[in-house]
Chains A and B, each alone.
Chain A
Amino acid sequence: MTDATTDSAMTAAPLAKVETPFQRFRAEFFESKIATVALGIFLIIVLLAILAPWITPQNPYDLAQVTIMDGRLPPGSEAFDGYTMWLGSDGAGRDLYSAILYGLRISLTVGLASGVIALLFGMAVGLIAAYAGGRIEVLIMRIVDLQLSFPASLVALMMVAALGKGVDKIILALVIAQWAYYARTVRATALVERGKEYVEAAQCLGISQSRIVFRHILPNCMAPLIVVGTVQTASAISLEATLSFLGVGLPQTEPSIGVLIANGFEYMLSGRYWISVFPGAALLLTVVSINLVGDHLRDVLNPRLKK
């Protein structure tokens, strides 16, 4: 990041316009139409999920509002209570549109929570490895390498096999499956940053170790961390959906998107496609839009790809 900003200061000088790094980043990010649209879609999804209790025609998990008479209605049917079920209803008579928005709340919460916790944990471990060096570094990196030799999905599956069902357990399983990616990224970047002159300068000024690590090195490690974070969060959401679909993730009482798709699966072979296709489409939109944003962030934040 420091390199990028000094470069930009040089190239921007003839224009006599001073840009903050953030403005520059914003301008570059919105250059890509695909990434802009993807970000927009993701924000809409988040907003819909947050507002779900106020904008859905029913609370799908309030038994008083759900009637079995509405079961398995095709998209566009009118519900017993009079509103239109644009996406149809599931086997228990829940309006799918409402169920999807409520499901997104759970899926996004689990995905974001595990992403943030894994990021913080992986970051701490990576920084320790990079700064401590020696035996501690060798030990930490051995564990990281070991874990990365197993696919994340398999690690998560092992963890839920051992831990059981439930929101907290799934988040723990996802954190365990993903922290190593963050640790590796932070260590690699921090090692490069540690050798730079500004760190030496800070040391000469007599600034404390912890201040150098947290105020000087860490901010410069943020760019790759953000990129890994977006991609890993998308994969956490999709992993949670996969585990829930298999029946080993979230229980029926925490109906995430994956649980909805699993519930619809049994109806699929009889041609009632909508019960799992629409939740699936919601999952897809979420995951693909985050991935597209992450992909573009990688291009924007990588100084080596700068024109």
Chain B
Amino acid sequence: MTVFIIRRMLQALLVVCLMSVIVFFGVNIVGDPIYMLVSPDADQADIEAAIARLGLDRPIWEQYVLFLKGAAQGDLGDSFIFGESALKLILHHMPATMELAFSALILAIVIGIPLGLYAGLYPDSRRSKGIMAASILGFSLPTFWVGLMLIMLFAVELRWVPATGRGDLGSFLGIQSSLLTPDGLSHIFLPALNLALLKISLAIRLTRAGVREAMGQDYVKYARAKGLSTRRIILVHVMKNIMIPVVTVMGLEFGSLIGFSVVTETIFAWPGMGKLLIDAILQLDRPVVVAYLMIIVLFFVLINLIVDIIYSILDPRVRLQDQGA
């Protein structure tokens, strides 16, 4: 067991190191940011001073070693544009993204599971077929296009909710959030729905498959034979059994929600990490791009590591297979 966990952690570390090489060299070979940072009428001496200040005059491998040294101390470099620590900048934008991803996850569960339940219980009804068709659309429509349509419908035509920004923030236990004020809630609704659409489709499919499988099981037949009401069978017996896999998968999808939020945040001008990344790419703000990518890689590697370890505890076969390989 310990051996398995250590092996996995070493692998995770290896992945992070490998990605740091790819990301750092990839990002730093493209474009020359210096001309965007000095004023147009700067002379050669000014430009050289700026290059020296930003450390761009050193050979790339030396820049990488410096980057690694800094990274080990939690310093991923300073943003070229803001002059602030890139890591701090990203951490500053992180709560907005987390809040959005979290709201989307809740929406996906609250909307997706009941719809999936219905589609699973009455697979042949017209409404169920409608739900399934909608879920196929949910999978194949590009997120940004749906976002545009949401803005057009709810913000431009109906004028129910604002199209962009984060709105007023409320404060609770020192955490600032849009979820705590009516204005903030009206701002978060559209982006959260947009981000949630793919996951709603996923939740519908998972729940439907689970329900259809569970309804044929002996324990359901037994509950029926005992004379329990259909309502009780579904809400207590069936739901309990299908919720575990559905919630597990949805939880795992949290990482991809944060990844996808790049698109949603850009459309709705939501001030999160995703928008920061896109702005940084466009302005060639390399340290911020590198820092964001490293944080995301770390995030995904951590999620996978945790999942692997939990699975290996729950299912010894996973562990044994790994040793055999």
Report A's interface with B, CB cutoff 8 A: 138, 146, 149-151, 153-154, 157-164, 234, 238, 241-242, 245-248, 261, 265, 268-269, 271, 273, 276-277, 280, 283-284, 287-288, 291, 295
Contact = CB atoms under 8 A, between A and B. Distances in A.
Contact of B163 (A245, A269, A276): A269
Interface in B1-36: 15, 22-23, 26-27, 29-31
Contact of A161 (B145, B259, B293, B300): B293
Interface stretch (B70-78, B89-97, B108-116, B276-284): B276-284
B313 interface: no
A283 B145 contact: yes
Contacts of A291: 136, 139-140
B300 A150 contact: yes
Contacts of B155: 269
B260 A153 contact: yes
Nearest to B278: A246
Contacts of A284: 141-142, 145
Select the residue from B22, B31, B155, B263 with max chain A CB neighbours within 10 A: B263
B274 to A, nearest CB: 9
Interface of B: 15, 22-23, 26-27, 29-31, 136-137, 139-145, 148-149, 151-152, 155-156, 163, 256, 259-260, 262-263, 266-267, 277-278, 281-282, 289, 293, 296, 300, 304, 325
A234 to B, nearest CB: 7
B15 to A, nearest CB: 6
Contact of B140 (A247, A265, A288): A288
B142 A151 contact: no
A154 B299 CA distance: 13
A234 B262 CA distance: 21
B232 to A, nearest CB: 36
A277 B156 CA distance: 13
B151 A268 contact: yes
A158 B22 CA distance: 10
| A-side interface mostly | helix
A242 B263 contact: yes
A265 B267 CA distance: 9
A171 to B, nearest CB: 16
B304 A149 contact: yes
Given A238-B140, A271-B156, A288-B140, 12 more contacts: A153-B259, A154-B256, A158-B296, A162-B29, A246-B144, A261-B148, A265-B267, A268-B152, A269-B151, A276-B148, A277-B148, A280-B149
Contact of B278 (A238, A247, A288): A247
Nearest to A137: B325
B142 A246 contact: no
Interchain residue pairs A-B with the least CB separation, the first 9: A162-B26, A154-B259, A164-B30, A291-B140, A238-B142, A151-B256, A280-B145, A245-B144, A248-B281
Contact of B152 (A150, A162, A245, A277): A277
A158 B163 CA distance: 27
Contacts of B304: 149
Given A154-B296, A280-B145, A288-B137, A248 B152 contact: no
B289 A161 contact: yes
A163 B263 contact: no
B143 A242 contact: yes
Nearest to A264: B148
A257 to B, nearest CB: 10
A237 to B, nearest CB: 9
Contacts of B266: 246
A234 B141 CA distance: 10
A193 B69 CA distance: 50
B83 to A, nearest CB: 21
Given A151-B259, A162-B26, A162-B30, A268 B148 contact: yes
A221 to B, nearest CB: 23
7 contacts: A150-B300, A162-B26, A242-B263, A248-B278, A268-B151, A283-B145, A291-B139
